[in-house]
A and B are shown apart, each in its own frame.
Chain A
Amino acid sequence: MWYNPETVNIERNLVEYCLTGKNKGIPGASAEGLKQYRQLLRNNIASILENAFPITNAALSTEKWELLLDKFHSQHAAQTPQIWKLPLEFVNFCSENRFSEKMELPFLNDLLKFEWVEIEVHTMQNIYPEPYEKQGNIASGQFIVNPEYQITRLEFPVHIYSAKASVAHKGEYFLLTYRTPVEYEVRFMDLAPLHVYYFNKLINEQCTADKIIDEVLKTSGQRLNIQELRNNLLDFIITLLKEKVLLGYKHLYHN
Chain B
Amino acid sequence: MDSIQTGIGFRREIADDFFGQSVLDPDFIELAPENWVGLGGYWGDIFKKATKTYPVILHGLSLSIGSPEEPDWNFLKHVKEMIEELHIKIYSEHLSFAKMDNAHLYDLLPIPFRKDAVRHVVKRIQQVQDFLGMQLTLENVSYYTPVAAEMEEADFINEIVEQSGCGLLLDVNNVYVNANNHGYNAREFIDKMLLGSVNYIHMAGHLQLSPDLIIDTHGEKIIDPVYDLFDYTAGKMKPVPVLLERDFNFPESEELAGEMKRLKEISTKNWRDYVVQS
Q: Do A and B bind each other?
A: yes
Interface: A44 (CB within 8 A): yes
Task: Find out whether the CB atom of A7 lies under 8 angstroms from the CB atom of B116.
Answer: yes
Q: A3-B68, A122-B42 are in contact. Are A83 and B34 (CB under 8 A)?
A: yes
Asked if B123 lies at the interface with its beta carbon under 8 angstroms from chain A, I say: yes
- Report how many A-B pairs have Cβ atoms within 8 Å: 139
Q: How far is the CB of B209 from chain A (nearest CB, A)?
A: 8
Distance in Å from the Cβ of B190 to the closest Cβ of chain A? 23
Across-interface contacts of A126 in B (CB, < 8 A): 40-41, 44
Report the minimal beta-carbon distance from A36 to chain B, rounded to whole angstroms.
5
Contact of A37 among B37, B44, B145, B213 (CB under 8 A): B145
Partner of A44, one of B35, B101, B107: B107
Q: By the criterion of a CB under 8 Å from any partner CB, how many residues of chain B are at the interface? A: 47
- With beta carbons under 8 angstroms apart, the residue of B104, B106, B120 that contacts A1 is B120
Q: Do the beta carbons of B105 and A34 come within 8 Å of each other? A: no
CB-based nearest A residue for B98? A81
Chain A min CB distance to B113 (Å): 10
A3-B144 contact in complex given A77-B101, A81-B104, A82-B34, C-beta closer than 8 Å: no
Determine the chain B residues whose CB is within 8 A of the CB of A81 once the complex forms. Answer: 34, 61-62, 72, 75, 104
- B75 / chain A contacts, CB cutoff of 8 Å: 81
Tell me whether A189 is interfacial, beta carbon within 8 Å. no
Q: What are 22 A-B pairs at a CB distance below 8 A? A: A1-B120, A2-B116, A3-B116, A4-B114, A4-B116, A11-B67, A11-B68, A14-B109, A26-B147, A27-B147, A28-B145, A30-B144, A32-B145, A33-B213, A37-B107, A41-B106, A45-B106, A82-B34, A82-B37, A122-B42, A148-B40, A179-B41
Could you tell me which A residues sit within 8 Å of B by CB distance?
1-4, 7-8, 10-12, 14-15, 18-19, 26-30, 32-34, 36-37, 40-41, 44-45, 48, 76-84, 86, 122-127, 148, 179, 184
Which 7 A-B pairs give the minimum distances between C-beta atoms?
A33-B145, A77-B103, A81-B62, A33-B144, A125-B40, A2-B120, A184-B42
